[in-house]
Amino acid sequence: MRQSKAYDLSLKDSRVTVNPSAAFSGPTSRDDASYAVNQRQMAQLLTQLNQIVLDKPQVVKLALSCVLAGGHLLLQDLPGMGKTTLAQGLAQLLGLTFNRVQFTNDMLPADILGMSIYNQHTQSFEFRKGAIFTQLLLADEINRSSPKTQSALLEAMEEGQVTQDGQSYPLPKPFFVIATQNPMQQAGVYPLPESQLDRFLMCLSLGYPSAAAERELLRGRDRRELLAGLDAVLDTQAVQLARQGVQQVYVADVVLDYLQRLVAKTRMSQEYHGLSPRGVLALQRAAQAHAYVSGHQEVSPEDIQAVFAAVADHRLGQRFMPLPVIGGQPAPTIAQRIINEVAVIV
């Protein structure tokens, strides 16, 4: 039976400082070559993404963790914050085929999924595949389309397939959706239903850049030029192997105890519904991916804290993340308050 490592936990406001195990440097007795094959490249991926999206290292790390966990990502922020740039950078560096769909209020589901067209030569209907048949789909400004069009993505995100006229068509593997949405205070937007939000493993917000990062944007090269010069660090096979590696990251019972205490806390409120079992599984998978990207073989409480807000807030009714203000800090989100209230060890 495997022995869990000893954690050095220093409690402060119910948060934790962890001394994790050393970064992974080679295969272990688990025969997990999939774990080793990409660890040497994680630093390169993060470095190049951080050169494209400036001053947001934690958001970039979480976005990469989300994709390697096999989940879909929702980026919500004001227009022009770099959401599309981050999505395009991920697609290029991971070597994935990429399609972008600009959602509008007059878009129909067939515009994304495809449609059956009558072929006069064969005298039969043929299915013409839509933009969704790609490995990474950028659903840009998804909340500008009607609920009917939004719901067209549900089957694809959950089952990895599209059904039209009673016929199912498998999507390429791996398949990811990165969606962007604008604040609800803006004109012409429709709120995403809870069932749609629950399909996204993480929800992230970039926020404003620092003054130094903004100066670099003003003086540096155009982001589109930098994107055009990116070379793939991984390919489809390597991404699949990395996803297998994420699943092999060990989670000790003491860490699962902490995870379940956080989940139990979400279910004690009368203001919102707590995390569902699917949300709990998403939290564990995201923590494993965060540990994997960090080069660790085992999930620590720090990994759970790092991903908890990204996984939980949009499931707990936090419709839009508060933006930082000059001279102050944004109000803590629901998940951040829960982390501060739940002890790491009891």
Residue 291 has what pLDDT? Answer: 95
Amino acid letter for position 262: L
CA–CA dist 181, 86 (Å, integer): 14
Please check the confidence at residue 157 and state whether its pLDDT lies above 70.
yes
Which residue from 299, 285, 305 is spatially nearest to 5, judged by alpha carbons?
A: 299
**Which H, E and C letters describe 271-316, residue by residue?**
CCCCCCHHHHHHHHHHHHHHHHHCCCCECCHHHHHHHHHHHHHHHC
| Both structure tokens of 330 | 């944004």
165 vs 257, residue with greater confidence: 257
Domain boundaries, the chain: 1-31+249-346, 36-236
Question: Bridge-partner residues for 180, per DSSP?
Answer: 75
Predicted confidence band of residue 185 (pLDDT cuts 50, 70, 90)? low
Highest mean predicted confidence (pLDDT) among 113-117, 172-176, 220-224? 172-176
Contact 314, 93 (CB under 8 A): no
315 vs 1, residue with greater confidence: 315
Backbone angles phi, psi at 308, to 5 degrees: -60, -50
pTM assigned to the model: 0.84
Residue 3 has what pLDDT? Answer: 45
CA–CA dist 344, 342 (Å, integer): 6
Contact 88, 138 (CB under 8 A): yes
187 vs 279, residue with greater confidence: 279
Please check the confidence at residue 97 and state whether its pLDDT lies above 80.
yes
Which residue from 66, 325, 343, 96 is spatially nearest to 202, judged by alpha carbons?
A: 66
| Both structure tokens of 283 | 């939290």
Residue 328 has what pLDDT? Answer: 57
Q: Using a pLDDT cut of 70, give the percent of the chain over it.
A: 83
Residue 285 has what pLDDT? Answer: 97
Domain covering 1-31+249-346 in this structure, CATH number: 1.10.8.80
Residue 284 has what pLDDT? Answer: 97
Say which range, 38-42, 139-143, 272-276, has the weakest mean pLDDT: 38-42
Please check the confidence at residue 130 and state whether its pLDDT lies above 60.
yes
Please check the confidence at residue 315 and state whether its pLDDT lies above 70.
yes
Question: pLDDT tens for residues 225-284?
Answer: 888 888 899 999 989 989 999 999 999 999 999 999 999 999 998 888 889 999 999 999
CATH fold of the domain at 36-236? Rossmann fold (3.40.50)
**Mean pLDDT in residue range 172-189:** 83
